[in-house]
Chain A
Amino acid sequence: MKKNTILKDTIHITVITLVAGFALGLVNEITKEPIAHQEELAKQEACQAVFAEADDFTETIDISNAPAILEEAGLAGLADINEALVAKSGGESVGVVVTVTDHEGYGGDIQFTVGISNEGVVTGISILSIDETAGLGMKADTDEFKSQFVGMSAEQPIAYTKTGEEGKIDAISGATVTTNAMVNGANAAIALYNSIQ
């Protein structure tokens, strides 16, 4: 009764794989545009969150000299600048929105956007991706922490403090590594801002 089923098995598994492949290709084709649209929306929202006054974030700023800027700011290898956009309100430039990735997080990269107005003041930060320890580093993604950046001067790099000194970011207790990563990321954005002024 032992039948050789290798041919039948091969055909069946081939059919399954083919159907799966076609289904994936088809759905990918259908969802490509809606996904790109959603990502665009999410980006707009992130920009809006850090720069409430502005309403248009479509013009990109050339950041090909970013490595040199980071080198000068002492942040080479610690942080990267991903994108910089002009924040416009009614067609007039009112500041910049910079997306940075800092590599010093406790759980790896932290990516966030920083808004800086033309008056040299940080207008806000918004975290795009973060994977820190819950209850510790994750507190970086609370308004309590993020709002500290609002109103900071972009004239000089931001610093953080563990003792509550004025004019500095209060470190998250138990998560100095995360605080340091956030501050350095923001400083990368500030360095870029200062280079284009």
Chain B
Amino acid sequence: MGKYIERIYNGIIKENPTFVIVLGMCPTLAVTTSATNGVGMGLTTTAVLILCNMLIAALRNYIPDKVRIPGFIVVIATFVTLTELLLKAFLPALNDSLGLYIPLIVVNCIIMGRAEAYACKNGVLLSMFDGIGMGLGFTMALTMIGAIRELLGTGAIFGFTILSESFYEPITIFILAPGAFLVLSMLVAAQNKINLINEKKAKEAAKAAAKAE
């Protein structure tokens, strides 16, 4: 069980797709004007990522090595399009809230990246957990960026006013494009700091263990 949980931890913290591997920057920068958008895009990507990872892992021995990238693209694009059609036809309520993000996912490099880096070399179940971890990491990152931008830019989070306009003048730049870069860079810096501290701790622990011997 340990390695499955490790996959989830890996996706959320150690190899967070947004803050560490820096994948999927287009949706990250463009969509995160509000926390709600961040959650929507994140969860839609998670669902697609889990299923695509499983699909690619299941087909990994059939897809020829030399032409695997075109193979992945065909499989992923087909799958996303099928999902979009089915959602539109049978689950219009879900489509109203998430349908907007689906076309943005077709070419999302997180999905290609995980297919290439992980799913094509590992089993179905492990790939599924990799998808869950990466998806949650992406959702968390997007929600954080969205929430910070929304709070600073409009004084609200998830549409609920927190900083009342009577004393807070919204800093509009945060919901415009430059705000995305500002917030993202600060969060990446924070994440790097955390990873550095963790590394230092691990080193010291190893040193202490060596001394004890």
Name the distance in Å between B74's Cβ and chain A's nearest Cβ: 5
Given contacts A12-B64, A13-B67, A24-B78, contact A31 B85 (CB under 8 A): yes
* B172-A9 in contact (CB<8A): no
Given contacts A23-B78, A24-B78, contact A135 B153 (CB under 8 A): yes
Q: Which of B33, B74, B85 has a CB less than 8 Å from the CB of A27? A: B85
Given contacts A24-B78, A27-B82, A31-B88, contact A9 B34 (CB under 8 A): no
User: Which residue numbers of A lie inside 8 Å of B, CB to CB?
Assistant: 5, 8-9, 12-13, 16-17, 20, 23-24, 27-28, 30-31, 34-35, 38, 41-42, 133-136, 174
* A35-B88 in contact (CB<8A): yes
* 15 intermolecular pairs with C-beta atoms under 8 Å apart: A8-B64, A12-B62, A13-B71, A23-B78, A27-B82, A27-B86, A31-B86, A31-B90, A35-B88, A38-B88, A38-B89, A134-B37, A134-B150, A135-B34, A135-B172
Contacts of A5 in B (CB 8 A): 64, 66
| A-contact 0/1 string along B110-132, CB 8 Å cutoff | 00000000000000000000000
Contacts of B176 in A (CB 8 A): 133
Known: A12-B62, A30-B89, A135-B33. 12 other contacts (CB 8 A): A9-B66, A12-B63, A12-B64, A13-B67, A13-B74, A16-B63, A20-B75, A20-B78, A42-B92, A133-B33, A134-B154, A135-B156
Q: How many chain-B residues does the 8 Å CB contact rule pick out?
A: 30
* A31-B37 in contact (CB<8A): no
| A-contact 0/1 string along B174-200, CB 8 Å cutoff | 011000000000000000000000000
Q: Which residue of A lies closest to B77 (CB)?
A: A20
B24 touches A (CB below 8 Å): no
